[in-house]
Structure 1
Amino acid sequence: MENKTPQRDKAIRTRQKLLETTFEQIAANGYHNITVDKIASAAGVSTGSAYRYFKNKKEMLLATIEYYYGNIQEFSQTQDSHLTEFSTLEEMLTYVLDQFYAIHKKYYAIHEELESLRHIDPDIKAAYDQILQQSMEELIRKLPAQYATLPNLKERLYLGISILENYAHTQMEDSSTRQYDMDALKNLSIQVVNGLLSDI
């Protein structure tokens, strides 16, 4: 019986390379300025090979959203062990906010592109919303048991994440045009989220 493992491994590597290149091309040039041909060329893959893995550019994008989420998950999971090091919720939130900013800084370009696309394409919105739902469920699972008693926990977390994300977005702005004291904004963000999660 013919050994299919080398062929399968090559197929996995090729698909991975196409996803990584799609990710890079969208971040660098924007979704509407790239084509399957350009992605394949940048990946060192023939256009015909690219179409064997993906039907069109949109399918590549949807697969890239999953890839993007997987990268964030991998990054965040490496930080989980640190969450037990803090004696207060405020200390933990300070750490989490710094990690939030690090993720936004690392993936800022593609994050902004996906945020824009999800408002105009229902398929992209559905994929994005599913990832947000999965992220919320995972966050709830990671919380200490005492937080399970909080009323409207999901809504509190939604507001808290929105506040942290808004801080990260503002931090990414050009400092010369920034209108806010970032130290004050950081401290206030932590205080507000702390208040949302302290009613236990």
Structure 2
Amino acid sequence: MKYTIIIMGLLMTTLVAAQEQIEPTFSMPRATVKMAPMKFFERNFELGVELFDKSYKRSLNLDVGFKSGDEDFDEARGYNVELGFRRYAPFMKFHQKGDRSFYRGIYYSLSVRAQYFKGKEIDANDYYREQKTTSIAPAFTLGWQRTLWEALVLDIYVGGAVRFAENEYPYGEIDQHQDVSIFNPRYEGIMPKIGVKIGIGL
């Protein structure tokens, strides 16, 4: 009986010690400004902001982008805005591993992206064509986020979206059934949503 009490006491001490919270050495910012480097491959400059609640369990995300070109068009311009809501589980919590101190969290996000695109194209037969596309794409993603060197934030996410597009061709219709890649603004259907963002706290 004596040994049982001793063992249970040791186990309780271990559990209490394991549950002790580490005192943070720096504060997680309530707002971060982020850039998406992978968007440069689509000739798109995108900047966003994430605003956390007091518990760091939820956040609001707003991204705004400008498209300056497209591989399928001679002239192209576009604009996009995306609004998303995140739920963190676990939330952005402080961790200490050796000399490294950081905040880390895992989240899921529901978002909707609206985009406007205008492009001009001249085909092999010197046929001039202009395309105007307005699209909307609801999406669901899972992500992982952590701070780097206290000031920077790394945000990695993966998921999917469904794009609905409305096209306008002022100089004549084109073959609507022509296959286009998911990078074409007039693409409609299911598409992957994968990315990396790098941000800085405010």
Q: What TM-score, normalized by structure 1, do the two folds share?
A: 0.23
Pick 1 or 2: higher relative contact order, CA cutoff 8 A, min separation 6.
Answer: 1
Structure number having the greater helix percentage: 1
Q: Higher Cα Rg: structure 1 or 2? A: 2
Structure number having the greater strand percentage: 2
